[in-house]
Amino acid sequence: MANPNDQKILELKKQIELKKEKLSKSQKFTPITNCSIEIDGVRHNIQVLQKEQILTLLIKINTYVLSSKDLGLLDSFNINGYHVLDWIADLKLKYEILNRKEEEQKLKAMETKLDKLLSDDKKVELELDEIAALLN
C-alpha cells in the first residue's frame, strides 16, 4: 500500500524543480570592471568577497555617488579607472549571484530531505519509471 505522503512529497519536489529552473536562468557574472577596487587604501577583489563585504562596499560607494551627484561631478567620477556606477553594477550582480547560490543550496538540501521521506515502494516505482524511459 502506497504511503499517503508520497504524493505530497512528489508535489513539493516539482515545486523545488521549478524554482531551480528559474534560478538557472539567472544572469552570469560578466563584470564591467577588472573586479579589483581600492577604497581607503584597501584593495578588494570582488570575485572573492562575501555577501556582507559586498554590502559594505556597495553602501560606501553609494555614498560617493550621492556626494558626486550633489557636487555635479557624477559624470566624471571614476575609481581605479572605471566609472563609479560600473563598480556598483558589478557589486550588485555579484551579490545577486551569491544569493542565487545560497538559494540553490537550500533547494538541494530540501530535495535531499524529501528523497529520504519517500516510501521504499515509491522509490522503486520511480526508479523503474526512469529505467523504462531510458529504454524507450
Give the burial class of 31: count Cβ atoms within 10 A of its Cβ; 0-12 exposed, 13-18 middle, 19 or more buried: middle
Residue at 29 is within a domain: yes
Residue at 94 is within a domain: yes
Q: In DSSP terms, which residues pair with 70 in a beta bridge?
A: none
Residue at 135 is within a domain: no
Return the number of other C-beta atoms located less than 10 Å from residue 125's C-beta. Answer: 14
Q: Which helix (H) or strand (E) holds 34?
A: none
Mean pLDDT per 10-residue section of the chain, whose length is 136 residues: 76 86 79 96 96 97 97 96 97 94 92 86 85 86
pLDDT at 2: 60
pLDDT at 58: 97
pLDDT at 114: 87
Q: Structural domain tally of the chain?
A: 1
Residue at 114 is within a domain: no
Q: What is the 3-state secondary structure (H, E, C) of 107-135?
A: HHHHHHHHHHHCCHHHHHHHHHHHHHHHH
pLDDT at 133: 86
Give the structural domain span for 44.
Answer: 19-105
